[in-house]
Amino acid sequence: MTSAPPAPQDDSPPAALLRRRDYSFLAFDYGLKRTGVASGNTVTSSASPLTTVKAEGAARFGPIEKLIREWQPDVLVVGVPFHPDGAEHDNTRAARRFARQLEGRFKLPVIEVDESYSTTAALASGVRHADADAAAAAILLQQFFDAQSALDAREALQDEADNNEVDGGAPAPGRGGARAAPRPRPRPRPPGAAGRRRPTREHPMSTLQLDAEALYTELRSGVRGLLARRTGPQALVGIWSGGAWLAERLAADLRPVGDGPAAPQQGVISSTLHRDDFSSRGFSGGTDRTKLPFAVDGCHILLIDDVLFTGRTIRAVVNELYDFGRPASVTLAVLVDRGGRELPIEAAYAAARVVLPPAQRLSLTRDDTGAFSFEIRED
């Protein structure tokens, strides 16, 4: 999910709604026979499962109307599933049709968000199968809140920086001469500024500012879904260095709660020894060494990287991995896929796809607080 909100849409909430900060939501995990429903609001930024509507076709709108009358939501959220590579399928189109029907019947803003594997994640968390649809609706709504919070925090920091740079960096005149009054902001943003845009669409970098923290939230969701598909021992292996940072944070964020599935193990892997330009580059002299404190044989390995480009680093990493054993499977998830592949390698999940000139290098950075950002340099 990107930091730049899309252009205003005709279905944006009315101006009276935009002046409020206490949005209430109903979220729907659409299914042909069962539709999970969850509620949430921006006061607590939390989502809770409500119920499951067990009806097909137009019959489902009766129970949904009762829920809307009871909960009086400002905004509706509909989960739309996609293949891991971002491609649409029959359920994608069915969920989008359902979203249009909700908008047409109830005259409320409707936000589409990626809900791939939300039901799988709900089941993996230990909920009963009968409650999985409502739990999945709560998961997709909570992910939406988390992404919005990341964007809001980034904007607040930018506003603080802007206020401190008035008059060329001099202290801005204001009360007491210490600071200018904060500049007016179009807040809160229309609900859905983050949710309308698919993370796997391609965008030219000339018009896109990537928000690494918001994309990390998307990556965490995708990784959770990928892990839920496997049984048996699993490990998150970060590719040095940006991927290692991501894997470290993911391992902490995906720790199990209660009697949930065991947390994946974590490791770091380097491409140095198997790079096809090793003869000219040699060792880097840094700390990029492979550390896999678990048995690779029979383990499902989920490789994590910040930016996927030519595919040569991934090829080298896979060779390095097999020096340690024979894994049950190897899957790749990345923060950004920038295209430009020179080898037949693809990620099972990419939080964003962008287009960059070949001479530009996109890399992840991490500050002293652990916050992520992107840096673009010319080769």
Closest CA to 364 of 198, 213, 159, 149: 213
DSSP state of 69: H
With tokens 């739990």, the residue in question is 135
Compute the average pLDDT of residues 141-154.
70
Compute the average pLDDT of residues 120-142.
69
21 pLDDT band, cuts 50/70/90, is low
Query: Higher model confidence: residue 166 or residue 172?
Result: 166
Beta-carbon neighbour count of residue 166 at 10 Å?
A: 15
Query: Higher model confidence: residue 359 or residue 178?
Result: 359
Q: Residue 354: what pLDDT?
A: 81
State yes or no: cis peptide before 190, omega within 30 of 0. Answer: no
- pLDDT averaged over the chain? 77
Q: Residue 286: what pLDDT?
A: 52
State yes or no: cis peptide before 241, omega within 30 of 0. Answer: yes
Q: Residue 95: what pLDDT?
A: 92
With tokens 């949904």, the residue in question is 64
Q: Residue 169: what pLDDT?
A: 46
Which overall architecture, per CATH, does domain 202-378 show?
3-Layer(aba) Sandwich (3.40)
Q: Residue 176: what pLDDT?
A: 36
DSSP per position, 142-183: HHHHHHHHHHHHHHHHHHHHHHHTTTTTSPPP-GGGS-PPPP
Q: Is the pLDDT of residue 135 over 70?
A: yes
Compute the average pLDDT of residues 10-29.
59
- The Cα 218–Cα 111 span in angstroms is 16
Residue pair 27/37 in contact (Cβ under 8 Å)? The answer is yes
Residue pair 137/27 in contact (Cβ under 8 Å)? The answer is yes
Q: Residue 203: what pLDDT?
A: 39
Compute the average pLDDT of residues 300-309.
97
**% of the chain exceeding 70 in pLDDT:** 69
Q: Please give, one letter per residue, the 3-state secondary structure of 18-29.
A: HCCCCCEEEEEE
Q: Is the pLDDT of residue 311 over 70?
A: yes
- The Cα 65–Cα 301 span in angstroms is 45
- The Cα 64–Cα 213 span in angstroms is 34
Burial class (CB in 10 A: 0-12, 13-18, 19+), 80: buried
Per-residue pLDDT of 249-283, as tens digits, reads: 999 998 775 455 578 999 999 998 888 875 555 55
Compute the average pLDDT of residues 80-87.
78
Q: Residue 1: what pLDDT?
A: 35
**Tokens for 297?**
């044989």
Residue pair 348/362 in contact (Cβ under 8 Å)? The answer is no
Compute the average pLDDT of residues 84-90.
78
Quick one: CA torsion of 284, 342, 203, 363, rounded to 10 degrees? 0
Beta-carbon neighbour count of residue 377 at 10 Å?
A: 9
DSSP state of 154: H
Compute the average pLDDT of residues 177-190.
34
Query: Higher model confidence: residue 116 or residue 360?
Result: 360
Q: Residue 275: what pLDDT?
A: 84
Secondary structure (3-state) at 334: strand
Residue pair 115/81 in contact (Cβ under 8 Å)? The answer is yes
Name the helix (H) or strand (E) containing 78: strand 75-80
Q: Residue 230: what pLDDT?
A: 87
End-to-end CA distance of the chain: 26
- The Cα 7–Cα 29 span in angstroms is 26
List the chain domain ranges. Answer: 15-145, 202-378
Strongest mean pLDDT among 134-143, 160-169, 364-373: 364-373
Query: Higher model confidence: residue 53 or residue 113?
Result: 53
Compute the average pLDDT of residues 216-237.
90
Out of 105-109, 168-172, 332-336, pick the least confident. 168-172
Name the helix (H) or strand (E) containing 330: strand 329-337
Q: Is the pLDDT of residue 289 over 90?
A: no
Q: Residue 154: what pLDDT?
A: 53
Compute the average pLDDT of residues 286-291.
76
Compute the average pLDDT of residues 167-180.
38
Q: Is the pLDDT of residue 205 over 50?
A: no
Per-residue pLDDT of 326-374, as tens digits, reads: 999 999 999 998 888 999 999 998 888 887 788 888 999 999 999 999 9
CA 131 to chain centre: 24
Beta-carbon neighbour count of residue 198 at 10 Å?
A: 17
What residue type is 276 in one-letter code? D
Quick one: CA torsion of 334, 335, 340, 345, rounded to 10 degrees? 10
- The Cα 272–Cα 211 span in angstroms is 29
Compute the average pLDDT of residues 158-164.
58
Class of the domain covering 15-145: alpha beta
Residue pair 286/254 in contact (Cβ under 8 Å)? The answer is no
Q: Is the pLDDT of residue 177 over 70?
A: no
